Amino acid sequence: MEFNNDPVCIKDLEKLAMRVMPGGAWGYYDSGANGEQTKRDNEDSFSEYRLHPRMLRDVSQISTETTILGQKVKTPLGVAPCAMHKLAHPGGEAATSRAAAKNGSIMILSTYSTTSLEKVIAQGNGDTQYWMQLYVYQNRSVSEKLVRRAEKAGFKALVLTVDAPVLGRRLVDARNKFNPPPHLRLENFMDPEVANDPAGYSSSLAYSTSETFGATFGANGDQTLSWANGISWLKSITSMPIIVKGILTAEDTRLAIEHGCAGVIVSNHGGRQLDGALATIDALPQVVEAADDKIEVYLDGGVRRGSDIFKALALGARAVFVARPVLWGLAYKGEHGAYHALDLLQKELELTMTLSGTTKVSEIDESYVYRPANRWIRYAPGKNGNPKKLLAKL
Ligand SMILES: Cc1cc2nc3c(=O)[nH]c(=O)nc-3n(C[C@H](O)[C@H](O)[C@H](O)COP(=O)(O)O)c2cc1C
Ligand SMILES: O=C(O)C(=O)c1ccccc1
């Protein structure tokens, strides 16, 4: 489009989305858990890292192409899984899917999609990778059916979200008594066999209120899920690579390797689960070190600028995912808006690469960033009550 009034950055898009969205839906998208410390930290921490750009290199050709899980992709920027895109726009996940395909971005589809997984993947252009996000239910046959459907439909990886055995407490939703509009359907649960399950896995949101929504989520979710009983079970029902989403520590990264996962997403669920958890860009270095090039490491949370993507790549992320920016774009103008959000970030990444003297993703390494000194030191109780430093640098 030659003449338009599209916002010029993600922050402007956020303000526009806030104006057009109904208050309850806005609150649900925006909110973090409890005091929202982690939600704020995700964004703020990126600003504490600084760039170390190199000059007088031929930057006439910039490529963001890379490989993820061994497959070529146009960009390391992808779409994180989010529940209920139709809260933002009636085009929902189908519109997001077309936007992601147009940008060459991987899309991770939420279990709680308001569009069926088959319809979402049918919007792709053949080049785009789709990954399926999974919540595991007490009735594992419900989850198993979803996994098998996703594999059959052509999803390339399974993303197991591990930071939400129950939902975090979002005060905004509690105050608003947020209630998703009853006409929306969780379309992955339309299968009559699943919908009639006595445990009550329903495609209907009509029963929900802010408290029952969270409670139903908790009541159906399998809180006994563990490294030992989760990953091997998934491996027995699918040949898709398994990626665990919600990892923040070196310890859990090593466990992901031991259990044969293909990758981890460093994530704190956009600050919506455990408030006070470390910002994702601060957790990334310890995860990358523990991953030791054996598995891929991705990151999401607070990415609002191309330079944020660049910083995450420099610290060892193979790809970076965004959630709220895409939802804001969708709320602003459906597919066009969702694409605009991705395109803004994509162009900003290319600009950051150009001005830093890097022409390929593989050139972006730690030498291009300054880390803040002594960022978050972890202590364990030592002898005679003297704390022992566990990790001096993160
Ligand atoms: C409205 C909303 C819904 C979400 N739903 C899911 C979900 O269904 N499954 C999941 O694994 N993560 C979900 N997330 C977490 C995102 O995948 C992601 O980890 C986080 O939001 C990234 O941070 P950002 O919003 O700052 O980009 C959701 C996040 C938001 C904001
Ligand atoms: O809101 C969320 O963060 C989330 O992950 C979720 C997913 C499904 C139902 C409710 C919340």
List, for residues 218-245, the tens digit of each pLDDT value.
Answer: 788 999 999 999 999 999 999 999 999 9
Structure tokens at 96: 């997001």
Taking the C-alpha atoms of residue 319 and residue 309, their distance in angstroms, rounded to an integer, is: 8
Can you name the residues that pair with 321 across neighbouring β-strands?
A: 78, 300
Q: Indicate which residue's Cα is closest to atom 1 of ligand 2.
A: 83
Q: Indicate which residue's Cα is closest to atom 21 of ligand 1.
A: 270
Q: Indicate which residue's Cα is closest to atom 29 of ligand 1.
A: 82
Taking the C-alpha atoms of residue 314 and residue 302, their distance in angstroms, rounded to an integer, is: 16
* Residue whose CB lies within 8 A of the most ligand 1 atoms, among 135, 159, 269, 342, for a mutation test: 269
Q: Would you say residue 64 lies in a domain?
A: yes
Mean pLDDT confidence for 179-190: 92
List, for residues 279-312, the tens digit of each pLDDT value.
Answer: 999 999 999 999 999 999 999 999 999 999 999 9
CA 369–ligand 1 middle distance (angstroms): 27
Please indicate whether residue 259 is annotated as part of the active site: no
Q: Would you say residue 124 lies in a domain?
A: yes
* Residue whose CB lies within 8 A of the most ligand 2 atoms, among 26, 38, 108, 112, for a mutation test: 112
Please give the pLDDT value at position 390: 73
Can you name the residues that pair with 378 across neighbouring β-strands?
A: 391
List, for residues 19-61, the tens digit of each pLDDT value.
Answer: 999 999 999 999 999 999 999 999 999 999 999 999 999 999 9
List, for residues 340-372, the tens digit of each pLDDT value.
Answer: 999 999 999 999 999 999 999 999 999 999 999
Atom of ligand 2 nearest to the CA of 168: 3
Give the position of tokens 């006439």.
60
Kindly tell me the burial class for residue 376, based on how many C-beta atoms sit within 10 Å of its own C-beta (0-12, 13-18, 19 or more).
Answer: middle
State the ligand closest to the CA atom of 189: 2
User: Could you tell me which residue, 156 or 385, shows the higher pLDDT?
Assistant: 156
pLDDT band at 206 (very low <50, low <70, confident <90, very high): low
Taking the C-alpha atoms of residue 246 and residue 252, their distance in angstroms, rounded to an integer, is: 10
Cβ 112 under 6 angstroms from ligand 2: yes
Cβ 84 under 6 angstroms from ligand 1: no
Give the position of tokens 């898009």.
13
Q: Would you say residue 387 lies in a domain?
A: no
Please give the pLDDT value at position 379: 80
State the ligand closest to the CA atom of 108: 1
Give the position of tokens 């956020």.
14
Q: If you average pLDDT over every residue of the chain, what do you get?
A: 93
Cβ 305 under 6 angstroms from ligand 2: no
- 259 labeled part of a ligand binding site: no
Q: Would you say residue 383 lies in a domain?
A: no
Taking the C-alpha atoms of residue 107 and residue 195, their distance in angstroms, rounded to an integer, is: 26
Give the position of tokens 């007088």.
56
Q: Which of 85, 89, 269, 340 is catalytic?
A: 269
Please give the pLDDT value at position 393: 44
Contact 320, 364 (CB under 8 A): no
Mean pLDDT confidence for 84-89: 98
Mean pLDDT confidence for 57-85: 98
pLDDT band at 213 (very low <50, low <70, confident <90, very high): low
Q: Indicate which residue's Cα is closest to atom 2 of ligand 2.
A: 83
Amino acid at 223: Q
Amino acid at 301: G
Taking the C-alpha atoms of residue 83 and residue 87, their distance in angstroms, rounded to an integer, is: 9
pLDDT band at 95 (very low <50, low <70, confident <90, very high): very high
Please give the pLDDT value at position 394: 42
**110: Cβ contacts below 8 Å, ≥ 6 apart:** 81, 82, 83, 84, 133
Of 130, 127, 117, the C-alpha closest to 156 is 130
Of 94, 222, 93, the C-alpha closest to 161 is 222
Share of the chain above pLDDT 70, in %: 91
CA 33–ligand 2 middle distance (angstroms): 12
Q: Would you say residue 354 lies in a domain?
A: yes
pLDDT of 107 higher than 50: yes
Q: Would you say residue 231 lies in a domain?
A: yes
pLDDT of 2 higher than 70: no
CA 134–ligand 1 middle distance (angstroms): 13
CATH number at residue 198: 3.20.20.70
Please give the pLDDT value at position 192: 64
Q: Would you say residue 88 lies in a domain?
A: yes
Structure tokens at 37: 């410390």
What is the number of H-type helices and E-type strands within the chain? 14, 14
Give Cα separations from 211 to 34, 195, 217 (angstroms): 15, 21, 10
Cβ 217 under 6 angstroms from ligand 2: yes
Of 122, 216, 131, the C-alpha closest to 167 is 216
CA 267–ligand 1 middle distance (angstroms): 9
> Nearest 5°: CA angle at 189, between 184 and 194?
140
Please give the pLDDT value at position 386: 67
CA 278–ligand 2 middle distance (angstroms): 20
pLDDT of 209 higher than 90: no
Please give the pLDDT value at position 278: 97
Residue 213 is part of which domain span?
10-377
Mean pLDDT confidence for 205-216: 60
Q: What is the pTM of this model?
A: 0.96
- 272 labeled part of a ligand binding site: yes
Q: Would you say residue 298 lies in a domain?
A: yes
The total number of structural domains in the chain stands at 1
